[in-house]
Amino acid sequence: MKIKKNIATSESGYVFNPSTGESFSVNPIAIEIFNFLKEGKSYEEISKTMLARYNTDEATFEKDYNDFMGMLKQHLLIETENEKEN
Amino acid sequence: MEKLRYERPVLKKLETNMPNKFGLRTEYVPKTHIDGVAVKDLIKEYGSPLFVISESTIRKTYKDAKKAFTTRYPKVQFAWSYKTNYLGAVCNVFHQEGSWAEVVSGFEYDKAILNGVDGSKIIFNGPDKTEEDLEKAIKNESIIHIDHLDELYSIIELTDKLKKKPKVAIRVNMDTGIYPMWDRFGFNYENGQAWDALNKIMRSDKLELVGLHCHIGTFMLTAQAYGTAAFKMADLALGVKKKYNHDIKYIDMGGGFASKNTLKGSYLPGDDTNPTFDDFAEAITSALINSDFEPDNLPMLVLETGRALIDDAGFLLGTVISNKRSSAGKRTTIIDIGVNILFTSFWYDHKISPAQPFTHYTEDTTLYGPLCMNIDVIRESISLPLLNKGDNFVIHHVGAYNMTQWMQFITLRPKVVMIDEKGKAYVIRENETIERIIAMEKVPDHLKEFEL
């Protein structure tokens, strides 16, 4: 899954969707995941990096990652199949 | 290299000028210690959940309350409201500070005696005093606050048997301009019931009328209602003096003072808006001093406030079991504290602080207890920092009623710990065990065996 190309993010955790005009705030760990997703990294790669950096376990991270992806989808920040083709 | 503290990734939509029911974020600092003792250490040693009572907070709150009244009125006596929290250690802190005992049942009466309170320093309230209770109270020269005429007649009958003149007061209910008006206890002021009872007592000549008692409501958010009540109590006392030339020794204004908790549905936190001891004291003492009592012959003022004296001293420590999402996508968190041990969560939006450092990121959350019941909701909506599974938190202002109204339901009630003024923790009530619960049960012989 990839973040839509037009989504603007700042280093301080501000996210803006120019298509809808909606703004979001994200915490530092979410910015990191955001950036990995923009780079097109897989879950496995992201998980490995995060588990090395943060004091958590794989099960917890997987659960929270999936929850975060759900939030991204709900707020239409992830590329849909149609957008990928274009 | 040491790993960084993990926080789950969170995305929050920014909305401006959109008021919502979650209110503003209120938690800025974690509650890592209680009176110098680490919350984590307490949970490690005594388990989670855990009730913690701060002895120094009790003593400080009591002194604040006492100061508010004694700086305004010459004769003040507090009586500790047992039903609010009757753990022996808690009661004894109040007794050490000078409080009498105020009890509302035979069980509480016996508890006060077992705590070592002199019978004459026990005020016996409530509508259900058995003949056995009354006999005990009369023999011990306790003060009986009569709730209804049947009780009055029972006491008069007992005086013949016991050859004693019991010390009594009547409980008076009245309209003080607040809703709901508590008229189920005692005798009404406005319709003459109170005078009827007073006449019966004075004319029987078998009882010693020592006081007048009222208790106008609970968690009162206006102090002025107490001023109205004190004015009406003074009127009754002065009426007795005029009619029978009999001095009422004390006026007992009961309790009902609000603590610092926030009632459900309030827009502003109770910390900021609820009346203080000074507010209540000013209303009550002004009404008494401005009445027609002779300045040198004022009746003693008795106060039975419970909640406002103990709520702030009680903390409930707990642990996060899981984070979930509801069908609508809302964040929900399950904690190991249910409504069975936090009864007051039905009335209050309890303040809850994480017990470990956190960032400023929050999520609007519903906090569910662990009971397998839909009503088990500790906070329907709270803006909380991001808590992980296993994280600890502290629920504030839980000292009143929870340790008396709690229920043993599907699990066992936890330990209660008191931290003394030197920062030493003592278990003041052990946790329940399955053996203790089962010991009270009896299974008939024909039900002891079965095959499946």
B contacts of A53 (beta carbons < 8 Å): 3-4
Q: What's the total number of domains in chain B?
A: 2
Are B6 and A26 within 8 A, CB to CB? no
Are residue B129 and residue B181 in the same domain, yes or no?
yes
CA distance B26 to B13: 19
Are residue B275 and residue B324 in the same domain, yes or no?
no
| Chain A nearest CA to B388, separation (Å) | 9
The bridge status of strand B122-124 relative to strand B100-103 is parallel
Are residue B295 and residue B428 in the same domain, yes or no?
no
Count CB-CB contacts under 10 A for residue B450: 5
Within 8 A by CB and 6+ apart from B370, the residues are: B321, B334, B335, B336, B337, B338, B376, B411
Mutate which: B5, B6, B356, vs A, most A CBs within 10 A: B6
In a 3-state reduction of DSSP, which class is residue B400? coil
In a domain, B65, yes or no: yes
Per the DSSP assignment, residues forming a β-bridge with B124 are B103, B144
Residue B452 tokens, joined: 């499946």
How confident is the prediction along chain B (452 residues), in pLDDT tens digits per residue?
A: 788 989 999 998 887 656 665 555 566 789 999 999 999 999 999 999 999 999 999 999 999 999 999 999 999 999 999 999 999 999 999 999 999 999 999 999 999 999 999 999 999 999 999 999 999 999 999 999 999 999 999 999 999 999 999 999 999 999 999 888 889 999 999 999 999 999 999 999 999 999 999 999 999 999 999 999 999 999 999 999 999 999 999 999 999 999 999 999 887 888 888 999 999 999 999 999 999 999 999 999 999 999 999 999 999 999 999 999 998 888 999 999 999 999 999 999 999 999 999 888 888 899 999 999 999 999 999 989 999 999 999 999 999 999 999 999 999 999 999 999 999 999 999 999 999 999 999 999 999 999 99
- Residue A83: C-alpha distances to residues A3, A9, A17 (Å): 11, 19, 15
Within 8 A by CB and 6+ apart from B201, the residues are: B146, B152, B168, B170, B207, B209
Q: Among the three residues B311, B344, B361, which one is the final residue of a domain in this structure?
A: B311
Are residue B60 and residue B187 in the same domain, yes or no?
yes
Segment A58-77, tens digit of pLDDT: 999 999 999 999 989 888 89
B436 has a chain A CB within 8 A of its CB: no
pLDDT at B354: 96
CA distance B200 to B151: 12
Q: Which residue of A has its CA nearest to B386?
A: A27
Mutate which: B1, B10, B333, vs A, most A CBs within 10 A: B10
The domain ranges of chain A are: 8-85
In a domain, B442, yes or no: no
pLDDT at A55: 92
Quote the DSSP letter at residue B339.
T
Are residue B148 and residue B263 in the same domain, yes or no?
yes
State the helix-helix crossing angle for B277-289 and B55-70, rounded to 10 degrees. 30
Work out the pLDDT band at A1, boundaries 50, 70, 90.
Answer: confident
B contacts of A24 (beta carbons < 8 Å): 11-14
Nearest CB to A30; choose among B5, B6, B10: B10
What CATH number does the domain containing B375 carry? Answer: 2.40.37.10
pLDDT at B309: 98
Are residue B321 and residue B269 in the same domain, yes or no?
no
A66 has a chain B CB within 8 A of its CB: no
Indicate the helix (H) or strand (E) that contains B309. helix B307-310
Nearest CB to B361; choose among A22, A27, A64: A27
A3 has a chain B CB within 8 A of its CB: no
Q: Among the three residues B311, B334, B361, which one is the final residue of a domain in this structure?
A: B311
Comparing C-alpha atoms, which of B352, B316, B342 is closest to residue B401? B342
A22 has a chain B CB within 8 A of its CB: yes
CA neighbours within 13 Å on the CB side: how many for B46?
A: 28
Q: What are phi and psi of A24, to 5 degrees?
A: -140, 155
In a 3-state reduction of DSSP, which class is residue B212? strand
Nearest CB to A24; choose among B3, B14, B386: B14
Are residue B203 and residue B220 in the same domain, yes or no?
yes
| Chain B nearest CA to A68, separation (Å) | 6
Nearest CB to A60; choose among B4, B361, B388: B388
pLDDT at A2: 82
List the end-to-end C-alpha distance of chain A, in Å, as a whole number: 15
Within 8 A by CB and 6+ apart from A45, the residues are: A36
A contacts of B388 (beta carbons < 8 Å): 56, 60
CA distance B93 to B97: 6
Are residue B297 and residue B354 in the same domain, yes or no?
no
Contact in structure between B220 and B257 (CB atoms under 8 Å): yes
B contacts of A15 (beta carbons < 8 Å): 11
Mutate which: A7, A20, A29, A54, vs B, most B CBs within 10 A: A29
Are residue B162 and residue B297 in the same domain, yes or no?
yes
Quick check: A33 pLDDT over 80?
yes
Are residue B146 and residue B285 in the same domain, yes or no?
yes
In this predicted complex, what is the ipTM? 0.92
pLDDT at A82: 67
What CATH number does the domain containing B65 carry? Answer: 3.20.20.10
Are B359 and A28 within 8 A, CB to CB? yes
| Torsion, Cα of A56, A57, A61, A62 (10° steps) | 180
Residue B288's domain comprises 55-311
In a domain, B358, yes or no: yes
A contacts of B361 (beta carbons < 8 Å): 25, 27
B contacts of A73 (beta carbons < 8 Å): none
Q: Which residue of B has its CA nearest to A73?
A: B11
Comparing C-alpha atoms, which of B84, B31, B28 is closest to residue B61? B84
CA distance B412 to B402: 15
pLDDT at B362: 87
B contacts of A52 (beta carbons < 8 Å): 3
CA distance A2 to A5: 8
Are residue B301 and residue B326 in the same domain, yes or no?
no
B contacts of A77 (beta carbons < 8 Å): 11
Contact in structure between A74 and B329 (CB atoms under 8 Å): yes
B8 has a chain A CB within 8 A of its CB: yes
Residue with the larger pLDDT of the pair A82 and B248: B248
Are A55 and B9 within 8 A, CB to CB? no
In a domain, B20, yes or no: no
Nearest CB to A55; choose among B4, B8, B361: B4
Nearest CB to B11; choose among A26, A53, A55: A26
Mean pLDDT value across residues A5-32: 91
pLDDT at B20: 61
Q: Among the three residues B290, B311, B332, which one is the final residue of a domain in this structure?
A: B311
Are residue B331 and residue B281 in the same domain, yes or no?
no
A-contacting residues in B 250-309 (Cβ below 8 Å): none
Give the global pTM.
0.91
Are A26 and B8 within 8 A, CB to CB? no
pLDDT at A86: 53
CA distance B326 to B387: 17
Count CB-CB contacts under 10 A for residue A9: 18
